[in-house]
Structure 1
Amino acid sequence: MRAEGAPVGMTRDTRERMAFSHLTIEYDARVLEPRPWTAMQSRWAAELIPGSPVGRVLELCAGAGHIGLLAVSLASRPLVCVDLNPAACELTRHNAALAGLDADVEVRCGDLADVVPPGEEFGVVIADPPWVPAADTGRFPEDPLLAIDGGDDGLTVARQCLRVASGSTADGGHVLIQLGTPEQARQLATEAAGTALDLVEIREGERGVVARFDRVS
């Protein structure tokens, strides 16, 4: 039996294909290679989606789209995927079609603040920002810099995601954001104090963490 996340075809100089839980995901060197452990974020989102106050799900910094696509394949809801990288948007559309979900998936390419207007509400927001501190990105030469460089403390893009989520998560909704460490999650929570988002749980994965923020009215 092939382990979850093992390559099942294609060569690295074009496009590779992998199993991500029950989905087939294709990606290439222009985006971050999907990590099997991040399916934890998808499954957590799928647990929250049925009880969320608004049907649509938003994924920020979607990459190849695998995390959001797996979530809505497990808990059927419309999905909006956002990424700055045109290659990521192209691959997300392709992977949505591979999964038979393209009719329910909208892909928006551009800056987060530009393509997700304040007041557009989602019941669950998934965010997968780069979280590696800039000084440490050299440790991962195989990864595209755009996909991993989180600025001086690794939180530059994560802060942007949380700001967008604060204006786009419906009351009673949930935000799941992938980060590198629990300390990063707690730092974001400290900075979010006074907003409508509260940190309620951190789950640790193989190489990072997922933090859950809930929107309280």
Structure 2
Amino acid sequence: MTDRIDFGTLSIAYDERVLQPREWTAAQSEWAAEIAGGAPDGAILELCSGAGHIGLLAAVGSGRSLLCVDANPVACDYARANAVAAGIADRVEVREGRLETALADDELFPLVIADPPWVPRDLTWHFPEDPLSAIDGGSDGLDIARACLDVVADHLAPGGSAVLQLGTAAQAETLAREEWFTSGRLVQVEVRQHVRGVLVRVDRPA
């Protein structure tokens, strides 16, 4: 059965096969829309988009086009329906596919939003109401976040920014010690603590 939830200015449809939108994650949309004001031209890319709520709210707030990517066909159907309900279906594309194959080699985006599963596998039992595939981040909760950063490293335009959602500041610190950042290819600019997670701004030098 389809449910609906208010998410910022949007009404988002979803069901039990898709992660229920968390109201606090509207902060990710708002930060992305704020960054978009000074970002290069181009569409927003949303990775692990689920029902599309975070990217759609950012697209509404920024006036930009949006490309949503998710491996779950049900989530993709909801993202398309939610784009129609938001009145911006004409500037939203939804691609069903894995992170490593969904984009063409030459596609670049000035702004990327990523909301990967970030719960460590041995803690997922705390969230029985959530689809396992939407919350299981592997042994340290960072497997899918790392896959997202691979995409960011390859597809974030020079001078662009990504806003990544994680569970803890410690997870952000772990990623900051990995090659994307130690090489200077990406820069971890800011970490913001929120109610149930953290948001991390990642820039690609111009």
Shorter-chain TM-score: which interval?
Answer: over 0.9
Q: Identify the residue that residue 7 of structure 1 maps to in structure 2.
A: none
Picking from 22, 31, 35, the partner of 2:18 is 31
Q: Identify the residue that residue 160 of structure 1 maps to in structure 2.
A: 147
Q: Distance in 1 between matches of 2:37 and 2:189?
A: 19
Q: Distance in 2 between matches of 1:188 and 1:216?
A: 18
Q: Identify the residue that residue 49 of structure 1 maps to in structure 2.
A: 36
Picking from 18, 21, 30, the partner of 2:5 is 18
- Post-superposition Cα deviations, 1:20-39, rounded to whole Å, max 9, x if no partner, equal 01111011001110000000
Task: Name the SS for the 1:80 alignment partner.
Answer: strand
Q: Distance in 2 between matches of 1:189 and 1:104?
A: 34
Q: Identify the residue that residue 64 of structure 2 maps to in structure 1.
A: 77
Q: Distance in 2 between matches of 1:30 and 1:121?
A: 31
Unaligned runs of 5+ in 1: 1-13
CA shift, 1:120, in A, is: 0.8
Q: Identify the residue that residue 128 of structure 2 maps to in structure 1.
A: 141
Q: Identify the residue that residue 210 of structure 1 maps to in structure 2.
A: 199
Task: Name the SS for the 2:202 alignment partner.
Answer: strand
Pairs aligned (count): 204
Q: Normalized against structure 2, the TM-score is what? A: 0.97
Overall identity of the aligned pairs, in %? 53
Q: Give the letter for the 2:7 counterpart.
A: F
Q: Distance in 2 between matches of 1:118 and 1:47?
A: 27
Q: Distance in 1 between matches of 2:105 and 2:149?
A: 12
CA shift, 1:117, in A, is: 2.6
Picking from 38, 49, 52, the partner of 1:62 is 49
Task: Name the SS for the 1:174 alignment partner.
Answer: strand
Q: Normalized against structure 1, the TM-score is what? A: 0.92
Q: Give the letter for the 2:133 counterpart.
A: L
Are the equivalent residues in 2 in contact too, given 1:118–1:164 (CA < 8 A)?
A: no
Unaligned runs of 5+ in 2: none
Q: Distance in 2 between matches of 1:18 and 1:147?
A: 18
Q: Which stretches of structure 1, 4 residues or more, deviate above 2 A after TM superposition?
A: none
Q: Distance in 1 between matches of 2:122 and 2:72?
A: 22
CA shift, 1:47, in A, is: 0.3
CA shift, 1:186, in A, is: 1.5
Q: Distance in 2 between matches of 1:44 and 1:199?
A: 15
- Post-superposition Cα deviations, 1:179-205, rounded to whole Å, max 9, x if no partner, equal 000111111121122152110100111
**For residues 195 and 110 of structure 1, do their structure 2 counterparts lie closer, same or farther at Cα, with a shift above 3 Å needed?**
farther
Q: Distance in 2 between matches of 1:132 and 1:118?
A: 30
Task: Name the SS for the 1:118 alignment partner.
Answer: coil
1:170 counterpart = 2:157: yes
Note the aligned Cα RMSD (angstroms): 0.8
Q: Distance in 2 between matches of 1:79 and 1:185?
A: 26
